[in-house]
């Protein structure tokens, strides 16, 4: 791992830690959440991740910046409600802070350990929401705070569970044979073990074929198509399929595609006979 990638990972990990620890006390913790979001954004930029992900992280940082700035501005001005003379509606300006934190925690490419810890934090928020919600003698503002806290917690937990439910898929032996043939032909033999030892894999079935994506920050960021030699695959009851690969943004994407017909969902579980046409 080169120095740029190493610093990228360090900044992202430390940034997420700040965002989680700071969330225990959202008011005082904003002093950690704000810079933590900035570190995650900077780490994503240094890691040369996909532009869409960088834009997402920047958007989260902007939301948190606006919300934290509003929160501390309101605090300096004497707060809202009561004898402050300021309407409770000024509290709406703080919502970007809460929304940005939630989006930043369970957004794309969030590590699994972050998602699990976030669920713990949000369960704590639900406990606080119940403690705030005391029917006897409670003012309307307390009901509102309790509801906002509960909605934030449940939304964030749902997002985390959705991310965690995405199952990783292990590369099959026939796929390893294809990957090795494509990389050796392209003079990229040094990437073979790196790809085989990476556990961060995603699978997407399209009906016409499928994509198997391997993500590793040590993979090259440049774009390249690996389509030689021509590699085909056959199995009982399915027309011949073809294989090729793409490399971009620290990802290796193996593509399987049918021709006149699609492939069944259980294609990868079948006995596949691979032919490498040289």
Question: Domain check: are 60 and 143 in the same one?
Answer: yes
The pair of structure tokens assigned to 204 is 């997407």
Confidence (pLDDT) at 84:
64
Q: Between vectors from CA 109 to CA 107 and to CA 112, what angle results, nearest 5°? A: 90
pLDDT of residue 137: 46
The answer to whether residues 236 and 196 belong to one domain is: yes
pLDDT, one tens digit per residue, over 52-88 is 888 999 999 999 999 999 988 888 877 776 666 667 7
Within the chain, residue ranges assigned H as helices are 3-22, 30-46, 51-76, 95-106, 112-132, 140-164, 173-185, 192-196
In this structure, are 16 and 145 located in the same domain?
A: yes
Q: What is the 3-state secondary structure (H, E, C) of 125-179?
A: HHHHHHHHCCCCCCCHHHHHHHHHHHHHHHHHHHHHHHHHCCCCCCCCHHHHHHH
* Residues whose CB is less than 8 angstroms from the CB of residue 111 and which lie 6 or more positions away in sequence, other chains included: 13, 16
Q: Is the same domain home to 129 and 13?
A: yes
Residues 144 and 195 in one domain: no
Rounded Cα–Cα distance for residues 167 and 270 (Å): 20
Mean pLDDT for back-to-back runs of 10 residues, the chain (278 residues): 79 95 88 94 83 89 94 81 69 90 90 92 88 59 77 93 78 95 95 84 90 88 94 91 94 93 90 93
Same domain, 134 and 65: yes
Domain that holds residue 57: 3-164
Listed residues 112, 144, 164: the one ending a domain? 164
Stated as kind and residue range, the H or E segment containing 220 is: none
Total domains present in the chain: 2
Within this chain, do residues 63 and 36 fall inside the same structural domain, yes or no?
Answer: yes
Domain match, 17 and 145 both: yes
Query: What residues does 184 pair with on adjacent strands?
Result: none
pLDDT at 142: 63
Judgement on whether residues 114 and 199 belong to the same structural domain of the protein? no
Question: How high is the pLDDT of residue 153?
Answer: 92
* 152 and 16 both lie in a single domain: yes
Q: Identify whether residues 139 and 273 lie together within a single domain.
A: no
Residue where a domain stops, chosen among 164, 186, 217:
164
Domain closes at, from 104, 131, 164: 164
Query: Does residue 234 share a domain with residue 208?
Result: yes
């Amino acid at each position: 791992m080169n120095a740029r990638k190493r610093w990228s990972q360090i900044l992202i990990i430390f940034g997420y830690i700040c965002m989680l620890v700071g969330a225990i006390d959202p008011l005082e913790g904003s002093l950690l959440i704000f810079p933590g979001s900035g570190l995650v954004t900077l780490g994503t930029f240094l890691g040369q991740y996909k532009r869409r992900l960088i834009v997402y992280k920047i958007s989260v940082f902007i939301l948190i910046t606006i919300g934290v700035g509003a929160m501390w501005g309101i605090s300096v001005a004497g707060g809202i409600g009561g004898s402050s003379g300021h309407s409770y509606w000024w509290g709406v300006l703080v919502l970007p802070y809460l929304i940005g934190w939630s989006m930043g925690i369970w957004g794309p490419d969030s590590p699994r350990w972050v998602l699990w810890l976030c669920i713990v934090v949000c369960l704590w928020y639900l406990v606080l929401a119940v403690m705030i919600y005391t029917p006897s003698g409670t003012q309307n503002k307390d009901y509102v705070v309790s509801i906002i806290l509960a909605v934030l917690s449940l939304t964030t937990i749902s997002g985390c569970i959705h991310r965690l439910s995405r199952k990783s898929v292990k590369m099959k032996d026939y796929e390893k044979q294809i990957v090795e043939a494509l990389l050796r032909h392209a003079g990229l033999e040094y990437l073979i073990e790196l790809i085989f030892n990476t556990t961060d894999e995603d699978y997407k079935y399209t009906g016409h074929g499928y994509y198997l994506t391997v993500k590793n920050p040590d993979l090259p960021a440049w774009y390249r198509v690996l389509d030689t030699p021509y590699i085909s695959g056959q199995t009982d009851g399915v027309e011949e399929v073809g294989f090729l690969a793409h490399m971009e943004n620290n990802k290796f994407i193996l593509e399987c595609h049918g021709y006149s017909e699609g492939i069944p969902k259980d294609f990868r579980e079948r006995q596949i006979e691979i032919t490498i046409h040289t």
